[in-house]
Amino acid sequence: MKLALGPLLYYWSREDTLAFYESALSWPVDVVYLGETVCSRRHLLRLPDWIELAEKFADAGKQAVLASQTLIESESDLKALRKVVADRRFLVEANEWGAVRLLAEARHPFVAGPTLNAYNPDTLALLADLGATRWVPPVEMPRDMLASMPVPAGMETELFAYGRLPLAFSARCFTARHYNLQKDDCQFRCIEHPDGLVLASREGEDFLCINGIQTQSARVMSLAHRLDELKAAKVDLLRISPQARHTERIATLFRALLDGTLAPADAPAKLAPLMPAQPCDGYWLGEAGMAWQPERHLEEITP
Amino acid sequence: MPLLELICPAGSLPALKAAVDHGADGVYLGLKDNTNARNFAGLNFDEKSLKEGIRYAQGKGRKVLMALNTYPQPDTLPRWHKAVDTAADLGVNAIILADPGLMGYAVRTHPELRLHLSVQGSATSYEAVNFYRERFGIRRAVLPRVLSLPQVENVVKNTEVEIELFAFGGLCVMVEGRCLLSSYACGDSPNTFGACSPGHAVRWEQTPKGMETRLNGVLIDRYADNEKAGYPTLCKGRFEVQGETYYALEEPTSLNSLEMLPEMARMGIAAVKIEGRQRSPAYVAQVTRVWRAAIDSVKRAPEQFKALPAWMAELAKVSEGSMNTLGAYYRPWK
């Protein structure tokens, strides 16, 4: 099993972003996703910057993947997408079907991102046929559904295994709305919230997390304690989603887990102090995503 | 190519008849299970009522479009296939699909069947729309409620696929097909279960602090005595962000794009869709009547078109939350 560092979902200063990736060059991850997938207005790093980073990661012996934008609205979004596809050196993560069309047309291999909604074997087979060499299931997919998916030969399965879950996308920017700003004049206030902006119920229960046009879970999905179930479900890569602090330590813990030097049962206690919020693992169990039941073990998959 | 066809919701046979009788060019409907995105108890059609609905609508020259717009899953795929077969066998005018795998099945099995891309397919660019066109020959696409009108026009100009827009009714603030808020809170999402904030997870409770609505235990909203309590659709609740309590995602508001009809006609929008399969036949009748009159007026004399106050008043009466918005069609909404 391999470790992947997912695309940075937040907006950080250029300095912080570059420092994060400079440091990540030496982290124990095998794959690194680079690029802006959330908001086209975010501009502190442009495609040439991401490509430069991709080259550095490739030189460091890691697989670099250029991740494309999830919500395409304008002609300039498409222009940006075409540029990502035009660079033939790196694998590309497609996060909507327009990108799939362009990549298939260019005969360029790609990663089928989690928002392509591959929920069944026919759609997965189609993606393989179009050039996908890896897929990321929708983050809500339960273990039982994943285990019953016949994955096409040669295709890897990468699972979102750690981080605040990307749950929804909108044309509206909720961070701008919070500051009573219009999106076109958002003043890039999301930069003030490097782990997003928590939305709580009126009883003070942390519920969701606002990240520009994206809505995330407030809770942090963590499947580290379920390593055996992940292996049995034939997951090939675990995706760790970047957070403002401690991402290196989290990656190191996951590496120890894969190396067998950290017992899965000990993972929750080790990870808890590194999380910006409470954990959850409900989706994997086929329940509400926000549920957290580390003690509950799924029965073995019967072939 | 059609222009501004009026497509109305039919959650039941009486609603279908109301739509047809009041001037819908077509109705859309689904079966009584999770093969469509309005999987609520008491709604939708079995084979018998579907046959009768098709007979009634097509007998008056109107179309029946069947929504099979959730995402089939490995163990239940045969149910979606059977639903496609049923639609083809009974002679619906088109099926509305979101899942590419299911489109493949439809094309292989029923090549003559007309395919529409559902809003749940999340296609927001012409590149995405053209993907489904090339691969599966889709004839129409329903766009998610996220594009501004100029962005919609850019899609229209760059595809031969007919474009259908949501015109009136409940408003998803998120890109349809890309929203898992409901399953995060209660385990069931529109993509797989066919419902957002489903009834089984909803609780209403009168408390000393006011009427509280919950979804799987999460407090979605609390209403003072003088406020009308709404259904706890979770993106329309009041939440706290940095100590401020407000409708953090969207107000309980409803889309009304009627005043944009001349623009839509000019840019060649093939059809406008009224949301509300979960609403009553009386709602369908009232909304259909107003939109029929408005579309006829636009087609007669687009330059002179005015959204009559009587129409707007009629529509305001039936809007959810009694508030209207132009949604993303009007850029500042974003």
Q: How far apart are CA B177 and CA B231, in angstroms?
A: 21
Q: Report the C-alpha gap between A59 and A76 in whole angstroms.
A: 31
Nearest to A1 by CA among A239, A218, A258: A258
Q: For the segment B124-145, what is each residue's pLDDT rounded down to a tens digit? A: 999 999 999 999 999 999 999 8
Report the mean per-residue pLDDT for chain B.
94
| Neighbour order of strands in the sheet with B210-215 | B202-207, B210-215, B218-223
DSSP 3-state assignment of A237?
strand
Q: What is the mean pLDDT of residues B326-332?
A: 80
**Lowest-confidence range among A2-11, A28-37, A269-278, B32-41?**
B32-41
Percent of chain A exceeding pLDDT 90 equals 97
Q: Where are the domains of chain B?
A: 5-171+253-333, 181-246
* Chain A residues whose beta carbon lies within 8 Å of the beta carbon of residue B332: 182, 184
Q: Which CATH class is domain B5-171+253-333?
A: alpha beta
Kindly state the average pLDDT of the residues B274-280.
Answer: 94
Distance from CA of B306 to the nearest CA of A (A): 28
Question: B2: distance to nearest CA of chain A, Å?
Answer: 25
Contact check, Cβ <8 Å, B219/A205: yes
pLDDT tens-digit profile of B142-177? 999 889 999 999 999 999 999 999 999 988 899 999
Per-residue pLDDT tens digits for A186-203: 999 999 999 999 999 999
pLDDT digits (tens, 9 = 90+) for A236-248: 999 999 999 999 9
The alpha-carbon gap from A120 to the nearest alpha carbon of chain B, in Å, equals 5
Across residues A94-98, what is the average pLDDT? 98
Given this model, what pLDDT does residue B322 score? 54
Q: Do B147 and A73 touch (CB under 8 A)?
A: yes
Listed residue (A302, A298, A31) closest to A143, CA to CA: A298
Q: Is B154–A75 a contact, with Cβ atoms under 8 angstroms apart?
A: yes
Average pLDDT over residues A243-260: 98
C-alpha distance from residue A126 to each of A101, A150, A156, B99, B270 (Å): 12, 12, 15, 11, 29
Question: pLDDT band at B276, cuts 50/70/90?
Answer: very high
Domains in chain A: ranges and CATH: 2-165+220-285 (3.20.20.70)
pLDDT at B207: 95
pLDDT averaged over chain A? 97
Helix (H, G, I), strand (E, B) or coil at A168: strand
CB within 8 Å: B127 and A74: no
Q: What are phi and psi of B174, to 5 degrees?
A: -95, 160
Residue B137 one-letter amino acid = G
Residue A41 scores a pLDDT above 80: yes
Show the tokens assigned to A180. 């009573």
If you average pLDDT over residues A260-284, what whole number do you get? 98
CB contact under 8 A, A182 and B72: no
pLDDT at A249 (0 to 100)? 98
Closest residue to B128, CB basis, from A96, A120, A167: A96
Q: What percent of chain B has pLDDT over 90?
A: 84
pLDDT at A303: 58
User: What pLDDT digit, counting tens, does each position of B203-246 carry?
Assistant: 999 999 999 999 999 999 999 988 888 889 999 999 999 999 99
- Average of pLDDT values for A140-159? 97
Mean pLDDT, residues B37-56: 93
Q: What percent of chain B has pLDDT over 70?
A: 99
The whole-number pLDDT of residue B321 equals 60
Task: Given the cut 0.95, state whether the ipTM is greater than it.
Answer: yes
The residue behind tokens 């206690």 is A269
In angstroms, rounded to a whole number, what is the distance separating the alpha carbons of residues A80 and B267?
26
Euclidean distance between CA atoms A219 and A277, whole angstroms: 6
Put simply, the answer to whether A203 touches B219 (Cβ < 8 Å) is: yes
SS3 letters across chain B: CCCCEEEEECCCHHHHHHHHHCCCCEEEECECCCCCCCCCCCCCECHHHHHHHHHHHHHCCCEEEEEECCCCCHHHHHHHHHHHHHHHHHCCCEEEECCHHHHHHHHHHCCCCCEEECHHHCCCCHHHHHHHHHHHCCCEEECCCCCCHHHHHHHHHCCCCEEEEEEEEECCCEEEEEECHHHHHHCCCHHHHCCCCCHHHEEEEEECCEEEEEECCEEEEEECCCCCCCCCCHHHCCEEECCEEECCCCCCCEEECHHHHHHHHHCCCCEEEECCCCCCHHHHHHHHHHHHHHHHHHHHCHHHCCCCHHHHHHHHHHCHHHCEECHHHCHHHC
